[in-house]
Amino acid sequence: MFGLGRPRSKFGKFMEREGITQEELAKASRVTQATISRICSDKTYMPKISTVKKLEKGFDKLDVDFDEEDFFG
């Protein structure tokens, strides 16, 4: 289910460690799955601040500790 040989960013590896799917995070954060996929695979992609804030809220809903500085600082 996770990994499948795809390149992963630090954010993508975090999601895998936490056992969170892109679909779950997309639903909880109201960020498109395409954007989450890009964040998970593209090590150079920097999402907008508004997107990061939505991700924070989504992780809160999923009861996962998330510090944006670890990924987008």
Model confidence pLDDT, tens digit, residues 37-57: 999 999 999 999 999 999 999
Alpha carbon 11 to its chain's center: 6
Sketch the domain layout of the chain as residue ranges.
Answer: 10-61
Residue 38 in 3-state DSSP? helix
Encoded tokens for 50: 């508004």
Distance (Å, whole) CA 25 – CA 72? 17
Q: Which CATH architecture has domain 10-61?
A: Orthogonal Bundle (1.10)
Question: How does residue 1 score in pLDDT terms, banded at 50, 70 and 90?
Answer: very low
Evaluate if residue 4 carries a pLDDT over 70.
no
Encoded tokens for 18: 């936490």
Length of the chain: 73
